[in-house]
Amino acid sequence: MKMGTEKQTYLNYINGEWIHSSTGKIEASLNPANIDDIVGYVQESGVEDVNVAVEAARRAQAAWRKLSGPKRGEYLFRAADVLEKRLDEIAETMTREMGKTLPEAKGEVQRGVNILRYYAGEGMRSIGEVIPSMDSEALMFTTRVPLGVVGVITPWNFPVAIPIWKIAPAIVYGNTVVFKPAQETAVTAAKIVECFDQAGLPAGVVNLVTGKGSVIGNAIAEHPHIHGITFTGSNEVGKTIAQKAVARGAKYQLEMGGKNPVIVLEDADLDRAVEATISGGLRSTGQKCTATSRVFVQSSIYESFKEQLLAKIKQLKIGDGLKEGVWMGPCASRKQLETILSYIEKGIEEGATLLCGGRRLVDGELGNGFYIEPTVFENVSPNMTIAREEIFGPVLSLIKVDTFEEALALANDTPFGLSASIFTQNIGKMLAFIQDIEAGLVRINEESAGVELQAPFGGMKQSSSHSREQGRAAIEFFTAIKTVFVKG
Ligand code: NDP
């Protein structure tokens, strides 16, 4: 086994071996807080590498699926222990590779550990049910079987938690995996796979291939021997994956964007609503699919909410996420920075009022990274681009509303439906919100971002392909049901 040290070249992991890609090409993974800092070099693989990885995963399938669930779970417990031991190191790599602050990165690695333990336990839980047959002498039951080889395609914003919440259930239910992480966070991904390797996972059960999504992600989507694809990322790419999967009858699961609203009513605890709007909207530089984006505030409290919000935002410390006391790090990449800046420009062009922020930060050492000011707009109308498209950056739009009903209608006026929150003390409004908001995650007096690993996660409308990840819900995607009828 080849272990990772900083600035080394990270390899693909296929059939239990760390190997160079067939293309011979490598790419530097840069620190978005300081582009002179190279985190490591990663493989820029080609289609042939995917083919070899799929073959390895297919070969490993036969023995892996025959292991009992509890036995498979033991490997996950071991991987959790290894990841826990390497928590500080992997969190630091994550911060250097995609910019989120070190405390957030540590929290995410700990979440990865917890997810592994949760799904390790899942290996012992029920995988079917007995259903009474019309024939009193027969036994009718369901049992769940793995899909086969699963392709795991993940983004850069949660480079530990998302891969683990896909890989852990995939393998505990008996699938084998070809994992393609976002190239921006491929070093972090290699370290996760090192943990599986150190845990003694049999060769071929988890395979890592790094490279461009348009090349190897596409090859995974089209590969005839990949039976299921689980993807998190943009709607644009998600849709193409779905089309390819449908064309060849493969199962797919997509978790995509959000345009998440928070509604603040006049009876809300204002301090709490302000804190939650800042945390939900700006933490991780707004690069969460559950991040708050549109803030609907009742007119009677609008001015005081705005004043408090802007005052608190001014105090946020922006800088290298490795440094103590920093609250918000850089954008994850130059591409992401440019996308966010172009949305801000569009907001101004279309007539929204910029209340704060809006610019790239370039003073002193910030000039070497992809930093951006936290940004707040007002006078945002529902048809503006910044009110409709996912920005994936630290940008909030304040929208004044007269009533709860108006807020609800506007909150639902979006193609997305991932997360939504409301701040109120009124139980009737809370219940109406739970009933009528079009979102897969509904949060009352709590920020829009935040998921617990033991509960189902996913969105409505264009935010997902309507299946759910995490918790017990994961079994629905990663297994197929057999209905069995037995007569003696
Ligand atoms: P992408 O959807 O492009 O990337 C997500 C993953 O898909 C990456 O591993 C990527 O590979 C891969 N990929 C890219 N193209 C293809 C393809 N044709 N076939 C198969 N896989 C592919 O997201 P970006 O990183 O470019 O971010 C763009 C926007 O997407 C963001 O601004 C944000 O709005 C949204 N997004 C949403 C996320 C969420 O959590 N819902 C997460 C990330 C992004 P690679 O990056 O290596 O090329």
Q: Would you give the end-to-end CA distance of the chain in angstroms?
A: 51
Enter the tokens of residue 4.
């990772």
448 falls within a domain: no
382 falls within a domain: yes
CATH of the domain at 305: 3.40.309.10
Decide if pLDDT at 143 tops 80: yes
326 falls within a domain: yes
2 falls within a domain: no
Rounded mean pLDDT, 407-418 = 98
* Strand pairing report for 149-153 and 228-232: parallel
pLDDT at 5: 46
With cut-offs at 50, 70 and 90, classify the pLDDT of residue 4: very low
Range of the domain at 97: 7-255+463-485
**Cα 158 to middle of ligand 1, angstroms:** 12
Which one-letter amino acid corresponds to residue 140? M
88: three-class secondary structure by DSSP: helix
Q: Whose CA is nearest to atom 42 of ligand 1?
A: 233
HEC states along 292-355? EEEEEEEHHHHHHHHHHHHHHHHCCCECCCCCCCCCECCCCCHHHHHHHHHHHHHHHHCCCEEE
User: Is the beta carbon of 162 within 6 A of some atom in ligand 1?
Assistant: no
154 falls within a domain: yes
Model pLDDT for residues 149-158, shown as the tens digit of each residue: 999 999 999 9
**Cα 141 to middle of ligand 1, angstroms:** 40
153 and 267, same domain (yes or no): no
**What is d(CA 109, CA 103) in angstroms, rounded to the nearest whole number?**
10
259: three-class secondary structure by DSSP: coil
pLDDT above 90 coverage of the chain, percent: 98
185 falls within a domain: yes
The enclosing H or E element of 139 equals strand 138-146
Note whether 99 and 321 are within 8 A (CB): yes
| Mutate-to-test residue for ligand 1 from 234, 339, 370, 414, highest number of ligand atoms within 8 A of CB | 234
88 and 53, same domain (yes or no): yes
291 and 432, same domain (yes or no): yes
**Cα–Cα distance list, 74 to 17, 121, 299, 449 (Å):** 21, 9, 56, 32
Rounded mean pLDDT, 100-121 = 98
User: Is the beta carbon of 214 within 6 A of some atom in ligand 1?
Assistant: yes
Rounded mean pLDDT, 228-233 = 98
364 and 419, same domain (yes or no): yes
* Strand pairing report for 375-378 and 353-356: antiparallel
**Cα–Cα distance list, 223 to 62, 247, 333 (Å):** 19, 11, 29
45 and 191, same domain (yes or no): yes
User: Is the beta carbon of 186 within 6 A of some atom in ligand 1?
Assistant: no
* Average confidence score pLDDT of the chain: 97
199 and 266, same domain (yes or no): no
* HSE, side-chain direction, 13 A CA sphere, residue 49: 30
Model pLDDT for residues 244-298, shown as the tens digit of each residue: 999 999 999 999 999 999 999 999 999 999 999 999 999 999 999 999 999 999 9
User: Is the beta carbon of 213 within 6 A of some atom in ligand 1?
Assistant: yes
Model pLDDT for residues 328-358, shown as the tens digit of each residue: 999 999 999 999 999 999 999 999 999 999 9
452 falls within a domain: no
pLDDT at 6: 45
334 and 279, same domain (yes or no): yes
- Ligand 1 atom closest to the CA of 335, numbered from 1: 26
**Cα 191 to middle of ligand 1, angstroms:** 20
Considering its fold, how many domains does the chain have in total? 2
* HSE, side-chain direction, 13 A CA sphere, residue 129: 2
Sequence-separated (6 or more) residues with CB below 8 Å from residue 273: 262, 264, 305, 423
Distance of CA 290 to the CA centre of its chain: 9
213 and 251, same domain (yes or no): yes
Burial classification of residue 256, based on how many CB atoms lie within 10 Å of its CB (0-12 exposed, 13-18 middle, 19 or more buried): buried
CATH of the domain at 99: 3.40.605.10
The 8-class DSSP code of residue 268 comes to: S
Place of tokens 């070899």: 52
| Mutate-to-test residue for ligand 1 from 156, 237, 392, highest number of ligand atoms within 8 A of CB | 237
**Cα 299 to middle of ligand 1, angstroms:** 38
Note whether 396 and 292 are within 8 A (CB): yes
287 and 396, same domain (yes or no): yes
279 and 177, same domain (yes or no): no
* HSE, side-chain direction, 13 A CA sphere, residue 317: 9
**What is d(CA 47, CA 112) in angstroms, rounded to the nearest whole number?**
29
pLDDT at 385: 98
Residue in 92, 184, 255, 390 annotated catalytic: 255
- Ligand 1 atom closest to the CA of 257, numbered from 1: 41
Decide if pLDDT at 7 tops 80: no
291 and 238, same domain (yes or no): no
255 belongs to the catalytic site: yes
Q: Whose CA is nearest to atom 38 of ligand 1?
A: 233
250 and 262, same domain (yes or no): no
User: Is the beta carbon of 29 within 6 A of some atom in ligand 1?
Assistant: no
347 falls within a domain: yes
